[in-house]
Structure 1
């Protein structure tokens, strides 16, 4: 199969087109995952209340803390983007690692709860969720190759099939009288669908199925390279999800159900940041360390795009919080409103943090990133042990806000030392101005249905952004409005050619 020009050598128009199409593909992927994730939570909440929802979410959260794919996807994407000819070797080794760790952790997840005398439902939901996560680990290795090849649309349609199976299957089993165990079986089956299809598609593109194996003498170096990524991934998830596990242990499944009803509406928005950054990351990796100006431009472009998404999402979510929970879950979940409003504060923080996190990885600063997230994870655990016994799920939300903010500051400082200052604050200027009419529209429609208020707010925000673009663009905005809108997200700071790089590690 003839090789196409890489983004670094393709014409400028094609480079821009590639970023837009890949970001759009990832946003669609986000849409599929979000619809399925929120849909399943709503179905469980309405069929079994906080208790059944808590059982399933505890199992999924606990199993997600384990490094099933052992840090391979991000490392694989970076290395294959730099050296495309190594794709088969990396996929085969990565698939072997995910299979090995998946088998190990699944056995532990069945054995440990059984050994300590947990209930049959707990043993089954945790163990089956582990099987699903093992398949998910295999799929993520395959998806990482699409990421490196900048063929993110392939991941999109596979994810669409996977999430349709998850949502449709869950609806079917709950309608037929199934409970948490049946819903978890559907989750595992949907992850198997995604893993098998993605593995087959990668095989077609490579000219033959990648066999899970590793070259003689290569396993130890790959494990050594993957370990910082595995630690970082695991600690990041611990930092973001340990609270739900601790809630389950200290306060029971009902508290987990109330908390996860809130977090489910917040955490999914971080996939928007992944959607943008997965399109940018391979190019950042190629730009470092020889083209620090291009690296900085891509980082600031990501910050600006995310600001225009994160701030309206935060504004609308905060103002619509009570009506949203009642609309989706029913009156049983009213006690979680304040918790949800606190968690909304971290939507923008998480998105910006993701840009800095991947930028550090692209700049070969994985060690520093791991130290930062390890520190945040330790802080998270300590604060949760203090706040949860006192305030239950509200205490978990307080801890999340503190730790996510601290991690963003740490990432920003670390990256500034490497690549110069960013536009973290400047990127939020125009979006902040545009959300003012959005807030007004939502407040004025407070007596109407929540969807009407949401539509009014989005319309006001869109009109405000268009007006800002028109005023800034002048004659350009009349002739080419799309160009005027695109100008709003262009980095304002000049390239920092003198930024310290420290070389490649």
Structure 2
């Protein structure tokens, strides 16, 4: 099977599972938001995001690191999985203690503290399961990850639905997440035995070099958490839970949509890029350029569509209860293509062993995001948080490009964006001219308009045709 066919297969598998998970997860978030109301929904998001700030301690980049190392040498699986699991057991305990101490020092009410404890436990369980998922990704066994992700989502949906149907509290809702995390760990252990027979192979001498080499991955994740979620925390401190709820209603579906789309591509190409950097360095430029092209073909119309149809989407999702979220939804829609392309360029930096540079870049932009939030939130509230997010995403993309040119080579990816952008604008113009159409019909016709515009503008060249042929063969 060729590289293109292998990547296509993995994207198809990942895409199918992520599509199911994203749709069901999005409906679940809407269900929760409508049930809790703005204040409790804000508290829900605060507790969930607060615990993720401590993930650098629970998983100092080990999961991402072993993906790269096992993808390059499968014989390291036993040693890396055993020692990574032991390290994470210790760091997770330390992390939970820090979560408890931190939330108590900040003086939040007792009910908020309990919810943070529960979501902290769920976050740590999810982090631990990433060790096993790293093996599936390194072996390019995306079907295992797909089945586990779907099973995890199904358990969460059933348990949350029961709690809401029984008219229970936010605290009991948080217990559902803990239960889901525990079952996910057990299923991962079962699946791992089918992929690789793990024999405990403890090697304390490996701990220090593993942690040192993995730390840039973890630091990158830590900065990414600040990058994406610090605005929620700052809103809770400066403006309160109601504004967090309004902002989260707009931000959560868009972040989930962009993350799912980005992960579909990067999950499939990361192990291949890492392997090719050792054996086929010249192929990285082609993979980066064309991955960027196709992800922007996907991302740009989503962004324009969400921007032009923001009021209809918010009303459809939440009703009049969250009408204030419309303006934030419009602004945040602009970060989708930036988020997607940064996923590709960031993956390239990691694949060429420049994860330190990637971490540095995300750190700079996280700082920019914090500064912008400090300036804008006091006067603009959730609108200021939305503006900060978009500007920070733009800065990250620019910085990634600068470092790729410096440490790898100049890749002319911007030239691939013009035609999808023009086609997206034409689609947006069509949407604004036909507001009387039913929303579902409008979305379908707009997608057809976009595809026709792409073809009319000559977006696809001979290289694309070769790729399509290989993809069709794999299908």
User: What is the TM-score with the length of structure 2 in the denominator?
Assistant: 0.93
Q: CA deviation at 1:99?
A: 2.2
For residues 57-97 of structure 1, the C-alpha deviation after alignment (integer angstroms, 9 at most, x for no partner) is 11111112222322112111110011110011111222223
**Whole-Å Cα distance in 2 between the matches of residues 108 and 472 of structure 1?**
54
Tell me if structure 1 keeps the 8 A contact 2:315–2:323: yes
**Whole-Å Cα distance in 2 between the matches of residues 263 and 397 of structure 1?**
8
Q: CA deviation at 1:330?
A: 1.2
Corresponding position of 1:254? 242
Corresponding position of 2:421? 432
Q: Are positions 1:327 and 2:312 aligned together? A: no
**Whole-Å Cα distance in 1 between the matches of residues 53 and 17 of structure 2?**
22
Q: Are positions 1:368 and 2:361 aligned together? A: no
Q: CA deviation at 1:117?
A: 4.4
Q: CA deviation at 1:485?
A: 9.6
Q: Are positions 1:195 and 2:165 aligned together? A: no
Corresponding position of 2:275? 286
**Whole-Å Cα distance in 1 between the matches of residues 447 and 344 of structure 2?**
25
Question: In the superposition, relative to structure 1, how do residues 231 and 484 fare at CA in structure 2: closer, same or farther (>3 Å)?
Answer: closer
Q: CA deviation at 1:141?
A: 1.3
**Whole-Å Cα distance in 2 between the matches of residues 214 and 329 of structure 1?**
51
Corresponding position of 2:173? 183
Q: CA deviation at 1:432?
A: 2.3
Question: In the superposition, relative to structure 1, how do residues 106 and 481 fare at CA in structure 2: closer, same or farther (>3 Å)?
Answer: closer
Q: Are positions 1:29 and 2:17 aligned together? A: yes
Corresponding position of 1:493? none
Q: CA deviation at 1:231?
A: 0.8
Worse-superposed segment, 171-180 or 420-429:
420-429
Corresponding position of 1:3? none
Corresponding position of 1:498? none
Question: In the superposition, relative to structure 1, how do residues 484 and 280 fare at CA in structure 2: closer, same or farther (>3 Å)?
Answer: closer
Q: CA RMSD in A?
A: 2.4
Corresponding position of 1:309? 298
Worse-superposed segment, 340-349 or 103-112:
103-112
Tell me if structure 2 keeps the 8 A contact 1:292–1:419: no
Could you say which structure has the higher helix fraction?
2
Relative contact order, higher structure (CA 8 A, sep 6+): 2
Question: In the superposition, relative to structure 1, how do residues 374 and 343 fare at CA in structure 2: closer, same or farther (>3 Å)?
Answer: same
Worse-superposed segment, 433-442 or 281-290:
433-442
Q: Are positions 1:341 and 2:322 aligned together? A: no
Corresponding position of 2:450? 461
Q: CA deviation at 1:464?
A: 3.6
Q: Which runs of 5+ in 1 are unaligned?
A: 1-10, 487-505
Worse-superposed segment, 315-324 or 91-100:
91-100
Q: CA deviation at 1:203?
A: 2.3
Q: CA deviation at 1:217?
A: 1.5
Q: Are positions 1:112 and 2:102 aligned together? A: yes
Tell me if structure 1 keeps the 8 A contact 2:4–2:467: no
User: What is the TM-score with the length of structure 1 in the denominator?
Assistant: 0.87
Q: CA deviation at 1:470?
A: 10
Q: CA deviation at 1:445?
A: 3.3
SS at match of 1:373: helix
Corresponding position of 1:218? 206
**Whole-Å Cα distance in 1 between the matches of residues 107 and 379 of structure 2?**
28
Question: In the superposition, relative to structure 1, how do residues 440 and 120 fare at CA in structure 2: closer, same or farther (>3 Å)?
Answer: same
Corresponding position of 1:395? 384
**Whole-Å Cα distance in 2 between the matches of residues 376 and 183 of structure 1?**
34
Question: In the superposition, relative to structure 1, how do residues 180 and 419 fare at CA in structure 2: closer, same or farther (>3 Å)?
Answer: same
Q: CA deviation at 1:439?
A: 2.1
